[in-house]
């Protein structure tokens, strides 16, 4: 609306407005001009039914302003007074902050710093969850030869030739069994999680090449350290 009206409180002013609006389509939604707002503020109340064009225009503007300005008086001055100040302009700082938010990529590739930080965290978790050193045991083993003609020196060499993580051979001695036969008693220290004594006997001591000298093995004592 690009026209001004001197006095919209009188019938003559409303008549002029009604005639001006005749044949025009009224605003809808947010399509409101500054002139519409000014004229709307100058009209004290909805025009009577005798001014159909002005009445329809008033309802259209009122409906469009209602969501933003509940109540007619909000943001509108009557008569020649200026309309309320427009919303404060957006500052440069606010614009920059909004731009920073727009640039934020939550699903972007990790930077080198982020990868290093993740590796440090992973290492810390592994260190905190690392098991304490496994327990150890002391085992006394009887190693029996085939007969009295078995070379006991080579038998002991065969036993000590077995090497594996968590196994340490200790002191040994020959003990008479009878009929000229002797057996080898030998100490060993094992890490429980690394060495199974049963597997050691079945898979190492009583199979080739050790079984050339060893007939059988028995556990005499098994003590946790």
DSSP, res 3: -
Structure-block tokens of residue 154: 């080579």
> Which regions of the chain does DSSP assign to beta strands (E)?
136-145, 167-178, 181-191, 214-224
For 158-174, give the DSSP string.
HHHT---TTEEEEEEEE
Predicted confidence at residue 46, as pLDDT, reads 80
Encode pLDDT of 197-220 as tens digits: 999 999 999 999 999 999 999 999
For 188-213, give the DSSP string.
EEEETTT--HHHHIIIIITSTTGGGT
Topology of domain 136-224 in CATH is Alpha-Beta Plaits (3.30.70)
Structure-block tokens of residue 158: 């065969």
Predicted confidence at residue 76, as pLDDT, reads 41
Query: What does the domain layout of the chain look like in residue ranges?
Result: 1-84, 136-224
Encode pLDDT of 12-38 as tens digits: 777 887 787 777 665 554 456 667 777
Mean pLDDT calculated for residue range 140-151: 95
Encode pLDDT of 161-201 as tens digits: 999 999 999 999 999 998 899 999 999 999 999 999 999 99
pTM reported for the whole predicted model: 0.42
* Cα 160-175-191 angle, rounded to 5 deg: 40
By three-state DSSP, how is residue 49 classified? coil
């Amino acid at each position: 609306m690009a026209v001004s009206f001197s006095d919209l409180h009188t019938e003559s002013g409303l008549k002029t407005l009604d005639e001006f609006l005749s044949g025009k389509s009224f605003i809808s939604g947010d399509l409101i001009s500054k002139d519409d707002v000014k004229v709307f503020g100058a009209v004290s109340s909805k025009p009577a039914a005798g001014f159909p064009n002005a009445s329809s225009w008033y309802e259209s503007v009122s409906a469009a302003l209602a969501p933003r300005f509940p109540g007619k008086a909000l943001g509108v001055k009557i008569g020649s007074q200026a309309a309320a100040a427009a919303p404060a302009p957006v500052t440069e700082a606010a614009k920059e902050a909004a731009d920073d938010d727009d640039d934020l990529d939550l699903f972007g590739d990790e930077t080198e710093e982020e990868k290093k930080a993740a590796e440090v965290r992973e290492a810390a978790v592994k260190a905190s969850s690392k098991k304490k050193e496994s327990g150890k045991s002391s085992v006394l083993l009887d190693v029996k030869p085939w007969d009295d003609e078995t070379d006991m020196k080579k038998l002991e060499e065969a036993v000590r030739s077995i090497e594996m993580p968590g196994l340490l051979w200790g002191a040994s001695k020959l003990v008479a069994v009878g009929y000229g036969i002797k057996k080898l008693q030998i100490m060993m220290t094992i890490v429980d999680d690394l060495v199974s004594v049963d597997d050691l006997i079945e898979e190492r001591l009583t199979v080739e090449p050790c079984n050339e000298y060893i007939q059988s093995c028995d556990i005499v004592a098994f003590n946790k350290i």
